[in-house]
Structure 1
Amino acid sequence: MWSETVKVDGPYHFEQVLDRISMDPVVALNQEERYIQVPLVIEDKPYVVKVQALGTVEEPVFNISGTDGETKIQAIEKIRRIFQWDFSLHALTDHFKQTNISQIFEQHAGTPLVLEFDLYSCLMKCIIHQQLNLAFAHTLSERFVKTFGHQVDDVWFYPKPEQVAPLEYEQLTELQFSRRKAEYVIDTSRLITEGKLNLEKLNEFSDEDVIKELVKIRGIGPWTAQNVLLSGLGRPNLFPKADIGIQKAIQKHFKLEKKPTSEEMDQFSEAWSPYLSYATLYLWRSIE
């Protein structure tokens, strides 16, 4: 066993993090005891790392613990990136005080942008969630993980692309996937195993080039590509205008009679750059 105490610049609202992540039935966490068990893959092996909050919103302190001391440095590095501990929310707070969504940022102050645990599971989750209401989307992703994934210390890991690529489409349609979505999930996994899609390489690309690379793939459109950029790669200035939740949140906040047009969304969001990803997150939070 190993453990490490990490101090983070406040504000950092870990309860808000747990509240949002708790909507995903695959994730192992305890809101009362303020911890989450994170499935990590390090050098192609699965490890569970526990992240527990010890401090306050203004003075955040965390204990990180795991079982394999040899992976400690890599695990901490991954955890820091997933939970965005190296990004100070002070600048964010100051920036949005001057904008037309300052009220939303006050209400959810200290909420960080937390990433998915790895790029492949992020991509699969984005494909599965396409054009579905959130509850059924989580149900489908839970069926996918618990049918084809595996557990370590009672924590679920998404299957690897090598495990999904050989599947028959019918194995997913039996779980209530549409035929088309089953094809997208399996065919994309096959591209990864064949080396035609290198997810790790995406880290080196600009936002525009990531989108260009991903939308070449059948079943991946701009919405999915933007969500991978936001939730998988942690890019700070993404604004998926086609997202229904974003449209609803803007309609509610600005008291519009109908959903905003693309041009209206451009006007409303003009002052939000270079933190559009955080505006996206906080708008989601405002209606969740």
Structure 2
Amino acid sequence: MARRPLLVKRQGICYNTGKSSRVPTIIFYVKGGMLVWQETVSVPGPYDFDLALDRLQLDPLHAVDLENKSVKVPVVTDGQRLAVEVKSIGTLENPSFVVRGRDEQLKEAAIGRVAEIFRWDDELINIHAHFQTTDLKPIFDEHYGTPLVLDFEPLGCLLKCIIHQQLNMAFAIRLTERFVHAYGEEVDGVWFYPDAETVAALTVEQLREMQFSGRKAEYVIGIGKLAAEGALDFKKMKNSSDAEIEKQLIKIRGVGPWTVQNFLMFGLGRNNLFPVADIGIQNALKKVYGLEQKPAVPEMEQWSKPWEPYLSYASLYLWRSIE
């Protein structure tokens, strides 16, 4: 007969010493009268969570604690919003994380979403090896183990892409922060983007008061209406090809190739996107190749051929090289 896992109670905390391949330790305890779950997850190395947090903290909407090596992630599952804390307790080569949240019934879905956001299934060692014979080797060596972390919400990602269009980064970040603080929701210290119905009900005048342009306000509201009506189904997109998604999104007012590519990369986690129109990537390549001016699109397309099928990682590391 198999032995049951040993349960040890200590100061009101119940430790389950049973083991699993994914979660060495499971802990349940009460915080503020509500049951809190906690699990430890190990992933393949290398994985530099410090560098991931460094990039995440560029956005003031993210609840990043660099000293504690943790971030609170907004997760929506079964229509409920919950804050899930992810804390690094491992190393670059042997990464592991404590994942903590409320509502034990939503635990599996929450951990699954966190794993998706932080790309814990990507084998970064293979991606790093791929670039060792390319012109980007120095950048990949410098940023060794940097993961491509998704935006926390697909709708939020698409809205952010629209808001950031043709704006300098500092103002784009401020404008997005105003938008989320005004119409989103804060749960346990974590900000959630407004849901589709909330965005759909906004007026152009409301967004103009925040310094949105008239057209950009229309684009944002239009995205909200499409999502609220079900014409934009982000769950369905997970099973669609890049080409199918591009064909659908490019028809929407305010959505161009740059927006589609960034959404595919950071909203859905697609690995082979290279936004040639992105000014940051152009400036990074100018630096890599020692150019006096930004490269032309045909040059960029030619240089990028050896970087496939990991163009999204090439894009990320190029951005990191100038941030």
Q: Does 1:24 align with 2:44?
A: no
- Match of residue 22 from structure 2: none
Give SS of 1:271's match. Answer: helix
Runs of 4+ in 1 over 4 A off after TM superposition: none
- Match of residue 133 from structure 2: 98
Question: Which of 220, 235, 247 matches 1:185?
Answer: 220
* Count of paired positions: 288
Q: Does 1:270 align with 2:295?
A: no
Deviation of 1:199 after TM superposition, in Å, equals: 2.3
Question: Which of 118, 121, 131 matches 1:83?
Answer: 118
Q: 1 CA distance for matches of 2:267 and 2:231? A: 19
User: Partner letter of residue 250 of structure 1?
Assistant: L
Q: Which gives a bigger RCO, structure 1 or 2 (Cα 8 Å, sep 6+)?
A: 1
Matches within 5 A, 1:216-235: 216-235=251-270
The higher radius of gyration belongs to 2
Question: Which of 166, 182, 187 matches 1:147?
Answer: 182
Deviation of 1:135 after TM superposition, in Å, equals: 1.0
Question: Which of 155, 163, 168 matches 1:133?
Answer: 168
Q: Deviations over 1:162-213 (max 9, x none)?
A: 0110111011111111111100000111111122222222112111111111
- Match of residue 260 from structure 1: 295
User: Partner letter of residue 100 of structure 1?
Assistant: D
Question: Which of 150, 153, 156 matches 1:118?
Answer: 153
Q: Deviations over 1:76-95 (max 9, x none)?
A: 10011000001111101111
User: Partner letter of residue 170 of structure 2?
Assistant: A
- Match of residue 195 from structure 1: 230
User: Partner letter of residue 34 of structure 1?
Assistant: K
- Match of residue 248 from structure 1: 283
Give SS of 1:144's match. Answer: helix
- Match of residue 20 from structure 2: none
Q: 1 CA distance for matches of 2:44 and 2:159? A: 32
Whichever structure has more strand as a proportion of its residues is 2
Give SS of 1:270's match. Answer: helix
Aligned-pair Cα RMSD in Å: 0.8
Deviation of 1:73 after TM superposition, in Å, equals: 0.4
- Match of residue 204 from structure 1: 239
Q: 2 CA distance for matches of 1:135 and 1:45? A: 31
Give SS of 2:307's match. Answer: coil
Unpaired runs of 5+ residues, structure 2, are 1-35
Q: Deviations over 1:219-256 (max 9, x none)?
A: 00010011110001100010010111110100111111
Give SS of 2:238's match. Answer: helix
Q: 2 CA distance for matches of 1:62 and 1:149? A: 28
User: Partner letter of residue 125 of structure 2?
Assistant: H
Give SS of 1:285's match. Answer: helix
Question: Which of 51, 72, 77 matches 1:42?
Answer: 77
Whichever structure has more helix as a proportion of its residues is 1
Taking only the aligned residue pairs, the percentage that are identical comes to: 53
Deviation of 1:268 after TM superposition, in Å, equals: 1.3
- Match of residue 51 from structure 1: 86
- Match of residue 320 from structure 2: 285
Unpaired runs of 5+ residues, structure 1, are none
